[in-house]
Copies of this chain bind each other. A is one copy, B any other.
Amino acid sequence: MSVFQEINAPLRTIMTPGPVEVDPRVLRAMGTPILGQFDPAFTEMMNETMEMLRQIFQTKNQWAFPIDGTSRSGIEAVMCSVIEPGDKVLIPIFGRFGHLLTEIAERNGAEVHTINCEWGKVFDQQEVIDEIKKVKPKVLAIVHGETSTGCMQPLDKIGPACRELDVLCIVDAVATIAGTEVKVDDWKLDAVIGGTQKCLSVPSGMAPITYNERIEEILVKRKKVEKGIATENDHVNVGRPIRSNYFDLSQLQDYWGARRLNHHTEATSMLYALREGVRIVLQEGLFERFQRHQLHEKALVEGIKAMGLELFNDVPWKLPMVTCVRIPDGIDGEEVRSMLLNQFGIEIASSFGPLHGKIWRIGTMGYSCRKENVLFVLSALEAALIRLGANLHVGKGLQATLDIYESMNLVAK
C-alpha cells in the first residue's frame, strides 16, 4: 500500500469568483466535535441557521435551509421539485450558468424556452417580461449574478411581473447572496438559491435555498414519503412524485421542520460552517457587507484601469464582486495565471465558452474581499505583465488603488 502523508496545503491568495478564502472563524467552527443529527443541541443549531438565512435572504419565508451538496445541488433541488415533465420553463441566458439552468430543466423533462443575449450584456427587464407573456411558462428560471461574464441581471421588475402573471420565479443567486442586495420578498422571487463558497466565505458543499408558499403548494401535492418511515397520513400525493429522493423538497422541509422526519443525515460540520458563516455576515451587517464589497471593487477597478488594462465588464450592470479584465493583445492569459499562482501563490480565473482566453476574472468576494488581497493581486498582475512584455502605465495601478483606500478611510472612520 502507498503511504500518504498528512495534508500539507500551500496557503493561497484566492481572487477567483469562487471558491474564495474561507473566514478563519468558519474554519475553526468546522473543528467542533460533531453532534448526532437529532440531538436537541444540533436541531437548535439547524433552527438558528434557518433564522439567520431568512435574514440574509431578506425574507419572511418559513423555508430557508441548506441542501447538502454544492451550489448546483440547490438549483437542482428546487427545479426538480417544482418542474414536472412537460412543464414550460423560460430561461433567459446571458452566460454559462444560464446554460446550466437549461440543462437541469431539460433533464427534468421541461419544455424549455430560452432567450439569449450576447455574453457581457444582460436583458432589459421588459424584454424578459414580454417573452413571459408570449411563452406563458410555469416557471421563469434566471441567473442573478453571472460569474462567467461578470454581469448582474436586474430582477426588481421581473419578479413582480412573474407574480402578476402567475409564473414561478426561480433565481440562481449563488454568486450574489451576502455580497449585494438579493431582496427575495421585495422583488417577489418565489425560490432563490445561494452559494456558500463565494460571498459567504464558507467552503463549497452546501447550498442555502429559500422558497415561499407558492412553491410549497406544488411540493405538498407531489409529496411521497419513503416506505420504511412513512405513516398512514403520508400517502396523500396527487401529483407526480418528485423524481429525486435526495432533492425532494417535500421531504426535506419535513426534516428541517417541526416533524423532523428522518431523511439524510445532516452534514454536521458543513452546517457548523454555514451557521458560523451566516452569523459573521449578520454581525458585520448586510448593508455594511455590501458596502465593503463595493469599496474593494472600486479600489480594484481603479487600479486595473490606471495600470492601462481594459475592463470587459465596465458597464452599469457589472457584477460588483467579479471584475473581468481583457487580456492584452499578444499576452497569453494562461501564462500570466501560471505566473501568479507559481510565483505569488495568487489564483485568478479564466472564463468559459466565447470568453475563454479573452478575459481574466478577478473575484472580490467575502473574506477574500479585503485590502491586502486587492493590493497584492494588482502588484502581482503588474509584475507578471511587465515580465511578459506588456505595455503598461508602470507603477500607476497601486497608486490609484491606494488613493481610493486613503480617501475611503477618511470617509469611513
CB of B33 within 8 A of CB of A228, answer no
**Interfacial chain B residues near A390, Cβ < 8 Å:** none
B-contact 0/1 string along A1-34, CB 8 Å cutoff: 1111011011110101011011011011111111
Are B36 and A267 touching (Cβ within 8 A)? no
Chain B residue with minimal CB distance to A99? B228
Bound CA–CA A227/B114 (angstroms): 13
Alpha-carbon distance A303/B262, docked complex (angstroms): 30
Among candidates B18, B96, B204, B265, residue contacting A204 with C-beta atoms closer than 8 Å: B265
Q: Which residue of B lies closest to A270 (CB)?
A: B205
Which residue of B22, B228, B246 contacts A73 across the interface (Cβ within 8 Å)?
B246
A352 and B21 form a contact (CB under 8 A) = no
Please, which residues of chain B bring their CB within 8 A of the CB of A273? 269
Q: Is A353 interfacial (CB 8 A cutoff)?
A: yes
Oligomeric state, in copies:
2
CB-based nearest B residue for A103: B226
Segment at the interface with B among A181-189, A236-244, A309-317, A371-379: A236-244
Pair A96/B265 contact, Cβ less than 8 Å: no
Bound-state CA distance A282–B3 (Å) is 8
A347 to B6 Cα, complex, angstroms = 31
Question: Is A279 positioned at the interface, with any CB of B under 8 Å from its CB?
Answer: yes
With an 8 A cutoff between CB atoms, is A297 at the interface?
A: no
Contact B352–A7 (Cβ < 8 Å): no
> Closest CB of chain B to A272's CB: distance in Å?
6
Asked whether A9 and B22 contact (CB < 8 A) given A103-B226, A245-B103, the answer is no
**A266 proximity list for chain B (CB < 8 A):** 70, 204
Among the stretches A45-53, A157-165, A318-326, A404-412, the one at the interface with B is A45-53
Which of B72, B73, B100, B265 touches A71 (beta carbons < 8 Å)?
B265
Residues of A within 8 A of B (CB): 1-4, 6-7, 9-12, 14, 16, 18-19, 21-22, 24-25, 27-37, 39, 41-42, 45, 48, 51-52, 55, 68-73, 76, 80, 95-100, 102-104, 106-109, 148, 197, 203-205, 226-229, 241-247, 262, 264-270, 272-273, 275-276, 279, 282, 341, 347, 352-353
